[in-house]
């Protein structure tokens, strides 16, 4: 998939579920629950042993879903995720090796950047969108608005501490998308609570749509 198409699909979805898979066999059902809730993108975090298998499963069984890898901490994880079909890479911090690897292969990459120095590094590398994590710890939307002034060309994906109660405040022109685990809670995945995941996604989609259209 072309990087430009990946970016367009993420921005159109605007909500990026951060998904923790403890069993790869539950991936397809989880992806379908998200899709039925109106979200066709998922970030599978590499926090568990089955994560890479889950990415491969989702790519094979759910072609309508845009699959990315999150919590990518090193180059081996990055390469492994891309080899299994991940269309985008998300890391909690800025790692130039990961960024360069993705750019060389035309893969969308969103490193975590919360300071002007990190943002400057991302811009120098040619990026225009970064992850802002953990958003609630580093000032939330107030910090994003403050950073948007000196970096008007940059877009943010706030993640961490975002939930149904505050997601609306993150709808902002320089917010490219909003990520979070509230859209697909780990315990619901593990218990097969797919209907609950779908309901949360639908509610979140409608809420964000309302504020994006204002």
Catalytic residue among 8, 36, 40, 43: 43
- HSE-CB for 112 with a 13 A CA cutoff: 14
Is 64 tagged catalytic?
A: no
Is 43 tagged catalytic?
A: yes
How many residues make up the chain in this entry? Answer: 214
- Looking at residue 213, its pLDDT comes to 83
pLDDT exceeds 80 at position 214: no
Would you place residue 111 in the very low, low, confident or very high pLDDT band (cuts 50, 70, 90)? very high
- Looking at residue 1, its pLDDT comes to 85
Return the exposure string of 73-104: e unless at least 16 CB atoms fall within 10 Å of the residue's CB, then b: eeeebbbbbbebbbbbbbbbebbeebbebbee
Q: What is the pTM of this model?
A: 0.97
**Mean pLDDT of all residues in the chain?**
97
What number is the average pLDDT over the span 198-214?
Answer: 94
Catalytic residue among 60, 131, 145, 210: 131
């Amino acid at each position: 998939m072309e990087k430009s198409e990946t970016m367009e699909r993420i921005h159109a979805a605007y909500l990026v579920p951060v998904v923790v898979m403890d069993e790869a066999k539950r991936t397809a059902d989880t992806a379908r629950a998200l899709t039925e809730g109106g979200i066709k993108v998922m970030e599978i975090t590499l926090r568990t042993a089955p994560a890479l298998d889950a990415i491969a499963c989702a790519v094979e069984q759910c072609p309508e879903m845009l699959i990315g890898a999150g919590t990518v901490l090193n180059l081996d994880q990055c390469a492994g995720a891309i080899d299994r079909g991940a269309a985008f890479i998300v890391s909690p911090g800025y790692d130039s090796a990961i960024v360069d690897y993705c750019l060389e292969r035309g893969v969308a990459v969103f490193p975590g950047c919360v300071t002007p120095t990190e943002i400057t590094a991302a811009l120098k590398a040619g990026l225009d969108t970064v992850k802002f994590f953990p958003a609630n710890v580093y000032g939330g939307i107030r910090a994003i608005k403050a950073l948007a002034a000196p970096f008007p060309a940059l877009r943010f994906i706030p993640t961490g501490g975002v939930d149904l109660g505050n997601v609306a405040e993150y709808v902002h022109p320089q917010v490219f998308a909003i990520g979070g685990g509230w859209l697909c809670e780990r315990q619901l995945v593990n218990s097969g609570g797919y209907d609950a995941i779908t309901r949360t996604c639908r509610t979140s989609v409608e809420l964000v749509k309302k504020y994006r259209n204002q």
